[in-house]
Structure 1
């Protein structure tokens, strides 16, 4: 997997992070639509890279951290800021753990 292929995977996964309907108390809720290898490959991403990322030992931990991001934010943070923080979780996990 090349650096450009890895960046493309990160960009794709960041777009899978989204705001869900607010919780009962109006709190920000972040969702993550975990793609399959086939979905990522159909998007033109490196098949080898997709398998590596989705099969990583830290994948489930990353997904949990993404959806738990609002719990780590200040209550007054705007939803779009919380969303950006959650998307940054994807970037940081992959940057620190993926190998080329």
Structure 2
């Protein structure tokens, strides 16, 4: 899935976090958080970005993914977000 996302979005960074163990009602499908940094998103609003991710992962959504949290950024958006929210804290580093 990682390579599929990287290739499709020509992504600079793709991170996939498996949060399945954090949920009480665990089933065999996964709870995932996906972070994608790509300039493909420059002229897209958040809805279109998320639709593109869901379309790309439609097979996985029917077979292996139960819940998906999507975070999409252009490279410039990521730099601003990173500096503001992550770099100066002890938060999880991407």
Higher relative contact order (Cα pairs below 8 Å, separated by 6+ residues): 1
Q: Does TM-score exceed 0.5, indicating one fold?
A: no
Q: TM-score under structure 1 normalisation?
A: 0.28
Q: Which has the higher strand share?
A: 2
Q: Which has the higher helix share?
A: 1
Q: TM-score under structure 2 normalisation?
A: 0.29
